[in-house]
Structure formats: structure tokens, C-alpha cells
Amino acid sequence: MRFYRQEIPDVVLVEPSVYGDSRGYFFETFRQDLFEDFLGYSVGFCQDNESKSSFGVLRGLHFQLPPYAQSKLVRVVKGKVLDVVVDIRKGSPYFGKHASVVLDSETKKQLFVPRGFAHGFVVLSEDAVFAYKVDNFYSLDCDRGLLFNDAALDIDWMLAEDQLKLSDKDKLQPNLSSLVRESLAFDYEVNLYE
């Protein structure tokens, strides 16, 4: 298992070692010891989630406010997606910047999204099964989002906007400047893992 920091260093690409032969394949999807050794801190995953979506479905950009902020370890079980994370930590040198990576069932790479980031993905294949671990439970009261096409974020979703399928909720999320104005951004200096 290998770990690669992305252009925003707190975001980590995880590349598992896949062992295959004529019978199929085997790989470890998660190794807590190796993962936390690389990160330098503990992440207590407590729940696994899975969704299935068709081509062009865009889910995001989502996050939860403290005390229910979540880290995610995301992967694609079937298909291919563009996965996007946006740094929403006030005071971060990367505030408002995003990182994106294509995740698919062929390479089996995963992305670690720390607390303090908005997260979303768009399906690039006919359909996709998307699975992820979270380190905090869902809270409706703390559920928030960021507008996927906010010009300030300048995200290339790899599909034309008329190909995208979003929920009504995701079409109406606030932009980054609203997030700042309403003091919903995370404090960069605060250790969100205590």
C-alpha cells in the first residue's frame, strides 16, 4: 500500500497493492496501522457508506460542521468518477483551492478527505458504485454544502453542465463567499481530530 500527498498536502491518494491471477484478485482496502503511520494521527472510522449513481450524477460538494465534521476514505467499487475536494479551512494556504482525481474500479485507488474539506464526485462511466468510510456519524443539523459550479472554485467537472444530474438540494448550495460570510468555514488552526 502506497500513499501520495496531493497538491493540497492533507489530501492523500491511497494506492493499494492488488494481487491477481486467473482466479481474480485480492487487496486490502484499508490498513489502519499503515494509514495512521503515514498520516501521523489517528482517524477512528466508525461507519461505511455506499451509493450507486448513473452517468452524469454529481453528488456534492458536501461537508458536516463540527462537532460532526467527517473525514472520508473514498473509493469506487464499480465504474469511474471524478472525485473533488475543496479546502474550506479559514487561514489555510489552500483555502478555496481544490484537488481532483479520477477514481475507478480498475486501479482501485482511494482518496482520503480530511475534516475541513467539502467533497463531491461526478460519475464518468455508465454507472458507478461509490463506497466510503467516515469517522463521524451523520447529523442533519450539521449537514452543509458548497455550490458545485461556484466560479471562485473553478472546478472542471470533465462533463458539460447540461450532462450533469444534481439533486435540488445540491443545485441550491451556497457559494464560497457565503460560507465565509456566514462563518461556516473551519478554523485552520484548530485540531479537528481531538
Q: List active site positions.
A: 62, 132
The pair phi, psi for residue 180, each rounded to 5°, is -70, -45
Q: How many CA atoms lie within 13 A of 83 on its CB side?
A: 26
82 has which bridge partners?
102, 122
Residue pair 24/18 in contact (Cβ under 8 Å)? The answer is no
DSSP 154: -
Amino acid at 112: F
